[in-house]
Amino acid sequence: MSLSKTLLRGAAVAGILGTLLSCKADHVVAPQFTASPIFKSYVALGNSISAGYQSGGIDDSTQQRSFPSLLAQQFGTPFTYPSLKNPGCPPPIANFQTGARVTPPGYPPSTGGSCFLRNAWSVTDVLNNVAVPGAVVADPSSPQGVAANALTTFILGGMTQVQRALVAKPTFVTVEIGNNDVLGPAITGQPGGATPLASFQSSYDQMVSQLLAGAPNVKGVLIGVVQVSAAPVLFPAAALASPLFVGGLSQAVGAPVTVHPDCLTAPGNGSLISMYIIPYLQGMKAQGLPPTIVCVKNDVPGMGDYLILDQAEQATVYNLINSYNNYIQQKAAAIGFAYWDPNAALLALNSVPGAINRPPNLASATNPFGTAFSLDGIHPSSSTDVVIANSLIDVINAKYGTSVKHVQ
């Protein structure tokens, strides 16, 4: 579910790609196969959550903590992934308040455009994690890649996710795709830009058909799309009634933030506001305008829409994701796969003290969104990857009669 679509450009990309495409090397999580034959070759297809993206970045350490890596360890099966050199491509955010990213000693400060390329150890033609941050539903089966970025080539080497997966002769797969088809439009307050249901179904059908054509006996789990409005990157407008919270926003913006009265009364107080409103307000400040948050369309010309998800738009997003998930569940049943809806497990985290902060704790540099989310307010933390892996293990054991143990 990555917001960053372009990491490197121009001649630098060409040089880097030449180096990377000559490599066939990636890291192996488990050295040998020890478990049920169904898991002899496990492959994960998907987007940033499957790839191991956290805190706005990805590196070898976050890749090892991804839920597919955890599953592979529990399956006892070899699992190779496109290991990205620490501190990453891009390096994860290390400080929420300053935006500083992980930077090795002696290196210049990392940025959102930094990329430290791939590790070249453990050379193999087989790749078991083919998930790509930023991928949308059309990408796993498309050679062009609708949402292609530098990582697409770094990870797949010119193949599609399905083509790369089939090289591993998969006996078991997890497919986690669709979050990015709605995430960006939702958190920018423009849900009309989400992938229409008919297009989503067509692309998903194509991906599944190609996968089964190349591996007709493969088994696995199709994973539903996360309800975006539950991510703490979107905070309730009602939080703007708190002077403490508005003070934290003002400190982040570097100027006093004005809250329009419509944010404090219905229907505006039912809106959700993207945390990306902070750079937007900083831009207003830079233009000599008073940083102002408006929560209802048309109350102030040109404001109250971008980065604001009103109640009607929330319903639109919720219903579209439900439609995506109903289709994915039906597809899983039709091909004999298990289906897992992530939303029940994530919803349960709301009852865990400190797991999800809504609104975020702006005074915290390292844990603003709660223990369940990383520093971008979108991607799960390592502890939530364990929750995801264990929930999937329960579904897999129930569907296939296996006895995979939980991650401890």
pLDDT tens series, the chain, 408 aa: 433 332 222 333 333 333 333 344 456 665 555 668 999 999 999 999 999 999 999 999 999 999 999 999 999 999 999 999 989 999 999 999 999 999 999 989 999 999 988 887 644 678 999 999 999 999 999 977 677 788 888 889 889 999 999 999 999 999 999 999 999 999 999 999 999 999 999 999 999 999 999 999 999 999 999 999 999 999 999 999 999 999 999 999 999 999 999 999 999 999 999 999 999 999 999 999 999 999 999 999 999 999 999 999 999 999 999 999 999 999 999 999 999 999 999 999 999 999 999 999 999 999 999 999 999 999 999 999 999 999 999 999 999 999 999 999
**pLDDT value at position 150?**
80
| CB within 8 Å of 357: residues ≥ 6 apart | 232, 367, 368, 369, 370
- Between CA 41 and CA 174 the distance in angstroms is 12
DSSP code, position 239: G
- Between CA 271 and CA 268 the distance in angstroms is 5
- Between CA 396 and CA 221 the distance in angstroms is 7
**pLDDT value at position 17?**
32
Q: Select from 394, 401, 381 the least CA-distant residue to 339.
A: 394
- Between CA 133 and CA 112 the distance in angstroms is 14
> In the CATH scheme, what is the homologous superfamily, with its name and number, of domain 10-231+327-400?
SGNH hydrolase (3.40.50.1110)
- Between CA 335 and CA 274 the distance in angstroms is 38
pLDDT tens per residue across span 299-349? 999 999 999 999 999 999 999 999 999 999 999 999 999 999 999 999 999
Q: How many CB atoms lie within 10 A of CB 193?
A: 11
Ranges in the chain annotated CATH 3.40.50.1110: 10-231+327-400
Q: Do residues 284 and 290 lie in contact, with contact meaning Cβ atoms separated by under 8 Å?
A: yes
- Phi, psi at 343, each rounded to 5°: -70, -30
Chain centroid to CA 208: 21
**pLDDT value at position 283?**
97
Q: Select from 130, 52, 18, 378 the least CA-distant residue to 8.
A: 18
pTM: 0.91
Q: How many CB atoms lie within 10 A of CB 276?
A: 17
**Beta strands at 292-293 and 219-223: parallel, antiparallel or unpaired:** unpaired
DSSP code, position 123: B
**pLDDT value at position 118?**
83
**pLDDT value at position 147?**
74
Instruction: Name residue 297's amino acid.
Output: K
